[in-house]
Amino acid sequence: MTGLVTPELEALVGTAWPPVVHEVDRTGIRMWARAVGIDDPIFHDEAAAREAGYERLPAPPGFMGVPRRMPGDDEPGPPIRGLHPDLTRSLNGGTEYEYRSAVMAGDELVASTTISDVKERSGSVGPMLLITRETTYRRGDDIVAILRATVINY
Amino acid sequence: MADAQVYVEDVEPGEEIPEIVERCTPRQLVMWAAASGDFYEIHYDVEYARSIGLPGLVVHGALKNAFLGHLLYRWVAPAGRIVRYGCSYRGLDYPGNDLRCRGKVTGISARDGEDLVDLDIWIEDPSGEVTTPGTATVSLPSRRGARR
């Protein structure tokens, strides 16, 4: 192999980033639903959501709210690009969500991210670095969802 | 959704779920950038995309994941729920192309009082190439009423 996984990158595995609050609000839910093309009224109209048995607008699959950031804050979570000086481009490698309970408007989810894997592969775009991170979203002490996401640097 | 509820008794391994077809416009990619917070230039700045060797704008991987989430939601709603779903981005997809979002039942089981259905899910491009393979597990209600 090409030795892309340097000791510094290896050492990232298991590293936890400071938790970030994700605000799940009605506008964010509607924007997400509209962008995906989800026209089911329960994601847009609170009366329709209540009629379907939800107290508040439910979040569409994959929407975990918007990270709360102040001016000057770094991007939340671990860096996803520029992890190796020779690899300037990046692509999304994969996304997996595991749900323990429903996400709803009004939730403030605390997202904790750890880099769970760093490996290299050779693909159609040449040598690639695959960095996988795991984010756990909690409401209070309860785990609501877990996201596993892989980014490719190439 | 307008379709009637699917119950676990209604499904069999090998069965395909109703597909959806998505054709992204550059406008939709910008809407997605705003909704998701992913402002990587390859999704809206065609000059930038070409400058790094791409043929043009590229559909966000996470948007394709959201299409697959929608595909599953439509199938299980209103009483079912998505337990997990995920996909890999093996091939790039481009705005203007019809992206077929599909799923097929691979297994049925019961766990902790829930009736679970495993599926292969995927997106294929107009040439039929699977650009975005994945798997999912959903929980469906039972006609026996012993659910959730």
* Residue A72 confidence class, pLDDT cut points 50, 70, 90: very high
- Residue B112 is given by DSSP the state T
Highest CATH level, class, for A7-24+64-153 = alpha beta
Pull the structure tokens for residue A67. 């990270």
pLDDT at B1 over 50: no
**Omega before residue B55 within 30° of 0, cis:** no
Identify which of B36, B72, B92 has the shortest CB distance to residue A61.
B72
Chain B residue numbers with beta carbons less than 8 Å from the beta carbon of A91 are: 61, 89, 92
Average pLDDT over residues B108-126: 97
Q: Which pTM was predicted? A: 0.94
Residue of chain A whose alpha carbon sits nearest to that of B64? A36
CB atoms A37 and B70 under 8 Å = yes
B2: which 2 tokens?
């307008």
Domain boundaries, chain A: 7-24+64-153, 26-63
Is the torsion defined by CA of B41, B47, B48, B54 positive or negative? positive
User: How many CB pairs below 8 A link A and B?
Assistant: 97
Does the structure show a pLDDT above 80 at A147? yes
Instruction: Look up the ipTM and state it.
Output: 0.93
pLDDT band, very low/low/confident/very high, at A80 (cuts 50, 70, 90): confident
Taking only residues 95 to 124 of chain B, the set having a beta carbon closer than 8 angstroms to any beta carbon of chain A reads none
Predicted local distance difference test score (pLDDT) of residue A75: 82
Q: Using a CB-CB distance cutoff of 8 angstroms, which residues of chain A are in contact with residue B70? A: 36-38, 60-61
Identify the closest residue of chain B to A123 by CA–CA distance: B90
Residues of chain A with C-beta less than 8 angstroms from the C-beta of B22: 37
- What token pair was written down for A59? 């979040």
Q: How far apart are CA A84 and CA A28, in angstroms?
A: 33
Main-chain dihedrals φ then ψ at residue B55, nearest 5 degrees: -70, -15
Provide the token pair at B20.
Answer: 């959806």
Q: At what angle do helices B61-76 and A26-36 cross, to 10 degrees?
A: 100
Q: Which residue of B has its CA nearest to A52?
A: B78
At B105, the pLDDT band (50, 70, 90 cuts) reads very high
Question: Are A40 and B34 inside 8 Å of each other by CB?
Answer: no
Q: Give B17-60 pLDDT, tens digit per residue.
A: 999 999 999 999 999 999 999 999 999 999 999 999 999 999 99
What pLDDT is stored for residue B3 in this prediction? Answer: 62
